[in-house]
Amino acid sequence: MARERYIKLLLMACASLSFLAILLIFIFILRESMPALTKVGFGNLFTSTDWNPDKGSFGILAFLNGTILTTLGGLIIGAPLGVGTAIFLDQVAPKKMATVIRRGIELLAGIPSVVIGWFGLIILVPFIARITNSSGYGIAAASVVLAVMVLPTITALSVETLRSLPIELKEASLAMGATRWQSIRTVLLPAAREGILVAVILGMGRAIGETMAVQMVIGNSRQFTLSLFKPTATLTSRLVTDMGEAPPGVFRSSLFAMALVLLIFAMLLIFSVRMITRKRKA
Amino acid sequence: MKAGRADRIATIVFWSIGLVSMAILAFIILEIFGRGLVTAVSPSFFAGQPATNQAGGGVGPMIVSSLYLAALTMLISLPVSIGAAIYMAEYAREGKFNNFIRFCLDSLATLPSIVFGIFGLTLFVVTFKWSYCLLAGAFTLALLNLPILLRGAEESIKQVPQTYREASMSLGANRWITIKKVVLPSAMPGVITGTVLPIGRIMGEAAAVIYTTGLFIRAIPLSPFDPAAPLAGYIWYAQTEATVPDYRQIVNGGAAILLILVFLINFSARRFARFYAKRKQLEVKL
Contact A18 B147 (CB under 8 A): yes
Distance from CA of A94 to the nearest CA of B (A): 11
ipTM tops the 0.85 cut = yes
Residues of chain A neighbouring B20 (CB-CB closer than 8 A): 81
Where chain A has pLDDT below 70, the residues are: 1, 280-282
A95-110 vs B247-285: helix axis angle to the nearest 10? 130
Distance from CA of B286 to the nearest CA of A (A): 30
Q: How many structural domains are present in chain B?
A: 1
For residue B266, what pLDDT is reported? 84
The residue type at B167: A
Distance from CA of B2 to the nearest CA of A (A): 11
Selecting from A3, A17, A118 the residue whose C-beta is nearest the C-beta of B84 gives: A17
Q: Is A108 within 8 Å of A148 (Cβ atoms)?
A: yes
Residue A227 CB-half CA count within 13 A: 15
For residue B70, what pLDDT is reported? 95
Residues of chain A neighbouring B211 (CB-CB closer than 8 A): 243-244
Contact A116 B28 (CB under 8 A): yes
For residue B281, what pLDDT is reported? 66
Domains located in chain A, CATH noted: 67-242 (1.10.3720.10)
Distance of CA B109 to the CA centre of its chain: 13
For residue B3, what pLDDT is reported? 84
- Residue B86 placed within a domain: yes
Helix (H, G, I), strand (E, B) or coil at B212: coil
- Residue B178 placed within a domain: yes
Size of interface A-B (CB pairs under 8 A): 252
Q: Which of residues 40-79 of A touch B (CB under 8 A)?
A: none
In sequence order, what DSSP letters do the residues of B107-166 get, joined into one string? HHHHS-HHHHHHHHIIIIIIIS---S-HHHHHHHHHHHHHHHHHHHHHHHHHHS-HHHHH
Residues of chain A neighbouring B101 (CB-CB closer than 8 A): 15-16, 18-19
> Tell me, what DSSP letter sits at residue A60?
-
For residue A171, what pLDDT is reported? 87
Domain containing residue B236: CATH number:
1.10.3720.10
Contact B236 A29 (CB under 8 A): no
CB contact B204 to A (< 8 Å)? yes
Domain that holds residue B115: 43-285
For residue A42, what pLDDT is reported? 83
SS (H, E, C) B34-49: HHHHHHHCCHHHHCCC
CB contact A240 to B (< 8 Å)? yes
Report the distance separating Cα B82 and Cα B187, nearest Å.
11
Mean pLDDT by 10 residues, chain B (286 residues): 87 95 95 94 92 88 96 94 92 84 94 96 95 96 94 90 91 89 86 85 94 92 95 94 88 95 88 77 60
- Among candidate residues A216, A96, A74, the one with its CA nearest the CA of residue A153: A74
pLDDT tens digit string along B42-97?
Answer: 999 999 999 888 888 899 999 999 999 999 999 999 999 999 999 999 888 878 88
CB contact B121 to A (< 8 Å)? yes
Residues of chain B neighbouring A16 (CB-CB closer than 8 A): 101
For residue B144, what pLDDT is reported? 95
- Residue B28 placed within a domain: no
- Residue B155 placed within a domain: yes
Report the distance separating Cα A54 and Cα B34, nearest Å.
43
Nearest CA in chain A to B240: A216
Distance from CA of B259 to the nearest CA of A (A): 7
